[in-house]
């Protein structure tokens, strides 16, 4: 009733006077959810201020009503609604009475994607999402990370990289494939250029730089295999955790006992997979998609509803027009509950399953978010498959989770209410 009244006021206001704000609804009224993030990001990038209306109509955005924003929205097929002061007042009244909160968006974060310079036979969902939404980003790889380039960025994304340096254990099935040989050569050259004897040593050093980046205030978002292997590389900084075809020696027999989980972001007490011909890193991944006999079927995961007023960060990360989303495989699909550290915030889980899908936490001055799986719109994505055409999925609830992460560093942090 209250929402209907607000809509009525909104319509009346738009008839009478030019609006001062553009509401970008993010519920089912939105024609293109993914590009709406691009519209908001680019408005901030151009110096405008905005608001993220958490839990209001699917996590809508409020932007200034300018001809340029209207034009861009029209070109990209993004639904916007002009809102005058009176209508906005009604919206705010409605928000004040419910689990909703307006978070100011002040500055477009500077984005880096960790991506190798060679072509890989798989695609990065975040890169595709940013390209589709029209959000600019830089790319960094090992040279840049070791040079200290991460300090230039507010937000870092890691995708498919194996930070244990075992090249995803793709040696098992693809050791003769030209793309695998290219990857091995490029990584070995990078290792030697930086004075490391093998790839695992190089990747551990990179993982340590990433850890320090977050500790110093950076925002980290990782997906798929990067989540699990980053943690293993950090915990195993002083342990041989790589199989013999990666570094010439087998995994240390006492590796499990020697892992230092005190330095990791999310996980603890994981058990390393020491069998060299099993395509799995550890028992962190609940689904074990690449291990015949262990592979678990896909279900659906449910997003948690957080208090927008008291827990705005977690709320931002789960803004979506759907709360139940079909699961999707990846090298690391999910995270075993058993291996989660006590302080980790679970953002999404499969109810009743021994794994969770989407987690978040603070670390030092920064924060991290991990999402399992490879491509939200291609649940069985396999090596060599063509990339997903996001213009066919403009309302993807799974891809929205990725873009929530891109925008949340733009939010002005409020002191918590006590």
Phi/psi region, residue 371 (left: phi>0; alpha: psi -120 to 50; beta: rest), is beta
CA dihedral sign of residues 157, 368, 273, 327: negative
SS3 assignment, position 180: helix
Q: Judged by CB under 8 A, which of 174, 324, 393, 395 binds other proteins?
A: 174
Nearest Cα to Cα of residue 265 among 181, 178, 198, 362 = 362
Residue with smaller CB distance to other proteins, 121 or 361: 121
With a CB cutoff of 8 Å and minimum separation 6, the contacts of 261 are: 235, 267, 268, 269, 270, 341
Give the closest residue to 339 by CA, choosing from 231, 236, 255. 231
Q: Of 32 and 345, which has the nearer Cβ to other proteins?
A: 32
User: Minimum Å distance from CB 79 to other proteins?
Assistant: 12
Q: Out of 74, 86, 151, 300, which residue is the one contacting other proteins (CB under 8 A)?
A: 74
Paired residues of 324 in beta bridges: 302
Kindly state the tokens that stand for 250.
């087998």
> Is the CB of 46 or the CB of 277 nearer to other proteins?
277
Does 277 engage in binding with other proteins (CB under 8 A)? yes
* Assigned token pair, 192: 């030697």
Compute, in degrees rounded to 10, the torsion defined by CA atoms 362, 368, 373, 376.
100
On whether the CB atoms of residues 297 and 392 are closer than 8 A, the answer is: no
Size of the site for other proteins (CB under 8 A): 22
Site for other proteins in 131-150 (CB under 8 A): 131-132
The gap between the terminal CA atoms of the chain, to the nearest Å, is 31
Structure tokens at 415: 């002191």
Could you tell me if 373 and 330 are in contact, meaning their C-beta atoms sit under 8 angstroms apart?
yes
User: Under the criterion CB under 8 A, does residue 297 sit at the interface with other proteins?
Assistant: no
Nearer to other proteins, 278 or 346 (CB): 278
- Among 47, 97, 253, 293, the residue binding other proteins under the rule CB under 8 A is 293
The correct pick among 20, 92, 104, 179 for binding other proteins (CB under 8 A) is 179
Residue 75 lies near other proteins (rule: CB under 8 A)? yes
Given 11, 46, 66, 71, the residue binding other proteins (CB under 8 A): 71
DSSP, collapsed to helix, strand or coil, labels residue 320 as coil
Q: Is 76 in the site for other proteins (CB under 8 A)?
A: yes
Does position 178 bind other proteins by CB under 8 A?
yes
The answer to the question of residue 176 lying near other proteins (CB under 8 A) is yes
Contact region for other proteins (CB under 8 A) — 55-63, 73-81, 256-264, 330-338? 73-81
Residue with Cβ nearer other proteins (4 or 119): 119
Select from 37, 171, 358, 363 the one that contacts other proteins (CB under 8 A): 171
Work out whether 384 is an interface residue with other proteins (CB under 8 A): yes
Where along the sequence are the contacts to other proteins (CB under 8 A)? 71, 74-77, 131-132, 171-179, 277, 290, 292-293, 384, 391
């Amino acid at each position: 009733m209250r929402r209907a009244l607000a809509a009525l006021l909104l319509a009346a206001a738009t008839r009478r006077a030019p609006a001062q704000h553009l509401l970008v609804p993010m519920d089912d009224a939105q024609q293109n959810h993914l590009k709406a993030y691009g519209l908001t990001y680019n408005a901030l990038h151009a110096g405008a201020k905005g608001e993220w209306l958490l839990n209001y109509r699917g996590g809508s955005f409020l932007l200034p009503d300018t001809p340029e924003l209207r034009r861009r929205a029209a070109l990209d097929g993004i639904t916007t609604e002009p809102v005058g002061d009176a209508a906005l007042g009604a919206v705010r009244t409605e928000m004040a009475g419910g689990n909703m909160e307006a978070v100011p968006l002040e500055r477009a974060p500077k984005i880096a994607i960790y991506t190798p310079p060679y072509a890989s036979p798989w695609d990065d969902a975040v890169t595709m999402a940013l390209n589709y939404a029209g959000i600019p980003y830089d790319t960094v790889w090992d040279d840049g990370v070791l040079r200290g380039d991460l300090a230039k960025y507010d937000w870092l994304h890691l995708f498919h990289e194996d930070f244990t340096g075992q090249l995803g254990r793709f040696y098992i099935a693809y050791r003769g494939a030209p793309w695998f040989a290219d990857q091995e050569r490029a990584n070995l050259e990078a290792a030697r250029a930086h004075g490391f004897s093998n790839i695992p040593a190089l990747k551990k050093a990179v993982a340590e730089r990433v850890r320090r980046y977050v500790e110093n205030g950076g925002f980290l978002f990782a997906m798929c295999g990067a989540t699990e292997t980053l943690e293993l590389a950090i915990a195993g900084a002083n342990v041989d955790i790589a199989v013999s075809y990666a570094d010439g020696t087998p995994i240390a027999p006492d590796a499990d006992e020697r892992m230092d989980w005190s330095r990791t972001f999310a996980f603890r007490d994981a058990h390393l997979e020491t069998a060299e011909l099993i395509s799995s890193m550890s028992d962190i991944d609940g689904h074990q998609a690449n291990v015949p006999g262990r592979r678990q079927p896909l279900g659906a995961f449910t997003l948690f509803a957080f208090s927008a007023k008291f827990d705005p960060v977690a709320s931002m990360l789960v803004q979506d027009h759907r709360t139940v989303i079909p699961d999707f495989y990846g090298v690391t699909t999910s995270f075993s509950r058993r291996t989660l550290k006590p302080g980790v915030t679970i953002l999404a889980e499969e109810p009743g399953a021994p794994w969770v899908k989407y987690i978040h936490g603070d670390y030092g001055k920064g924060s991290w978010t991990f999402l399992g799986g490879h491509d939200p719109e291609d649940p069985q994505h396999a090596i060599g498959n063509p990339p997903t055409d996001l213009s066919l999925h403009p309302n993807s609830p799974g891809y929205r989770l990725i873009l929530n992460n891109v925008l949340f560093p733009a939010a002005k942090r409020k002191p918590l209410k006590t």
